[in-house]
Amino acid sequence: MSYKPKPIELADVKLPDELIELREAIAENAHEIWAQKRQAEGWRFGPERDDKLKQTPDMVKYEDLSEKEKEYDREMAMQTLKLMLKIGYDIVKREDTELYRVLLGRIANAKQTFYCPHCEKDGMMTPIYKHQVFCDKCGTKIDIDWSLYD
């Protein structure tokens, strides 16, 4: 029998801009959980994936992953957040905790690419640069508090 994935359709769900940093925190934590599990199974860093030797180039800190690998984690986080909204959950940040400040610091210091939130809502990944005011692709004003990333 052939398996045919049928995820819940989430194209109609638009994430609020304030969930972008949450998406990044979830993506980073998901990578840490994955790496911890793999290490417990005997996996370690290697220049190429080798299932027999249990080596992978992804056994590095999230910040050192390639953008392609980070994008996988970000997409999973974004789809999870969208699913939560679609099935009726509210996502509310009640306070700035110490962990929240630590995560913001990690995001600020990470080698990361930022994407236009407006384009991203339409399914496009348009890179933007710190302190950019308007998106080069859609022309929308970038309403991001860049001071959080300095």
Amino acid identity of residue 25, one-letter, is A
Q: What is the mean pLDDT of residues 89-97?
A: 85
Tell me what percent of the residues of the chain surpass a pLDDT of 90: 37
CB-based contact 78:23 (threshold 8 Å): yes
pLDDT given at position 111 = 58
- Locate tokens 């991203």: which residue? 120
pLDDT given at position 58 = 94
Other Cβ atoms closer than 10 A to 113: 13
Residue 13 reports pLDDT greater than 80: yes
Residue 112 reports pLDDT greater than 70: no
Give me the CATH code for the 17-91 domain, please.
1.10.490.160
Ranges of H-type helices in 41-140 = 67-86, 98-109, 117-121
Q: How confident is the model at residue 25 (pLDDT cuts 50, 70, 90)?
A: confident
| pTM recorded for the entire structure | 0.68
Ranges of H-type helices in 41-66 = none
From 38-47, 58-67, 69-78, 105-114, the region with the lowest mean pLDDT = 105-114
pLDDT given at position 108 = 65
3-state secondary structure of 112: coil
Q: How confident is the model at residue 1 (pLDDT cuts 50, 70, 90)?
A: confident
Q: What is the mean pLDDT of residues 74-91?
A: 92
Q: How far apart are CA 123 and CA 126, in angstroms?
A: 9
